Amino acid sequence: MDFKDKVILVTGSSRGIGAEIAQSFAKEGALVVVNYLQSEEAAEKVVTACKNSGGDAWSIKADVTSEGAVRGMVEEILLEAGKIDVVVNNAFKPYIFDPDKRKLVWELTWEDYQAHIDGSLRSTHNVCQAVLQNMRKRNQGSIINMVSNLVARPIIPYHEYTTAKTALVGYSRNLATELGQFGIRVNCVAPGLVYPTDASRQTKEEVKEMILTQTPLRRIASPEDVAGPVLFLASDWSRFMTGQTIYVDGGLVM
């Protein structure tokens, strides 16, 4: 895939899956904007890795749950690069996937749900609203929203996380319907358990074994497994795809 002269914004890309996605775009010649919230040091390491991979990159700190911060970030990108070709909405509220420590449904408050809706749906909405004017003006663009295979198969009921990601799928389909006339495509990538990441590090071996034995490809995904489908959806190879959710979980959902 050739992303030379393409400008890619990846939110929440200072670590984990986001960092791998950013570096994968850079390997294909893209200019990558590494968005982060907390660790400038981690973000700069990703920037360096992107540059060493053959692309270009710079980092921008912005809280994607803040409309004003997102608007400022996008304005800076447009000032420096003139356009945004692809957005990967990867940032989400930190969550630890531990079945023994999750809140049971009768323990949850609406505030628990709201926090994840803000972290997934609100943040994505803020970014989409900020980039749409430029994409519509250019009559092209690709938006990829990161969700989860739990929306189709909640093998462990992480209620607040999965509810927010399910809402994001619906949001994405509505965007795809509205924006197709402007040449803008909107799709979702839904990984299963990805190891190792900060969110999955505490996953117990028995849980990994349970998922592995039910997965036709008989292994757990790595961040590299997720990056490929994201690049595919960003590329012209998927130019007639929109409103889709691609499950990247070795066949656990089919």
- Return the domain boundaries, the chain: 7-248
DSSP 38: S
161 is catalytic: yes
- Cα–Cα separations (whole angstroms), residue 196 to 48, 72, 219: 21, 32, 13
Contacts of 62 (CB under 8 A, 6+ apart): 35, 37, 69, 70, 72, 73
Alpha helices in 53-191 (DSSP H): 67-81, 110-117, 123-138, 159-179
**Whole-angstrom distance, CA of residue 27 vs CA of residue 246:** 22
Q: Which of 161, 171, 195, 247 is catalytic?
A: 161
pLDDT of residue 206: 87
pLDDT in tens, 148-164: 999 999 999 999 999 99
- CA neighbor of 57 nearest in space, from 74, 89, 80, 33: 33
Span 11-25, mean pLDDT? 96
Q: Which of 201, 195, 190 is nearest to 249 (CA)?
A: 190
Q: What's the CA gap between 222 and 21, in Å, rounded?
A: 12
Per-residue pLDDT, averaged over 37-41, amounts to 94
Confidence band for 99, pLDDT divided at 50, 70 and 90: confident
Q: How far apart are CA 236 and CA 240, in angstroms?
A: 8
Predicted confidence at residue 189, as pLDDT, reads: 98
The residues near 131 (Cβ < 8 Å, ≥ 6 apart) are 9, 74, 84, 87, 141, 143
Rg (CA), the chain: 17
Angle, helix 159-179 to helix 123-138, in steps of 10 degrees: 20
pLDDT confidence of 92, banded at 50, 70, 90? confident
Residue 207's pLDDT is what? 85
Which two tokens mark 18?
A: 């986001």
The residue type of 196 is P
User: What's the one-letter identity of residue 109?
Assistant: T
Q: Please tell me the class of the 7-248 domain.
A: alpha beta
| Spatial separation of the C-alpha atoms in residues 185 and 196, rounded to whole Å | 30
Q: What does the mean pLDDT of the chain come to?
A: 95
Q: Say whether pLDDT at 198 is over 90.
A: no
Q: Phi and psi of 98, rounded to 5°?
A: -130, 105
Cα–chain center distance at 57: 18
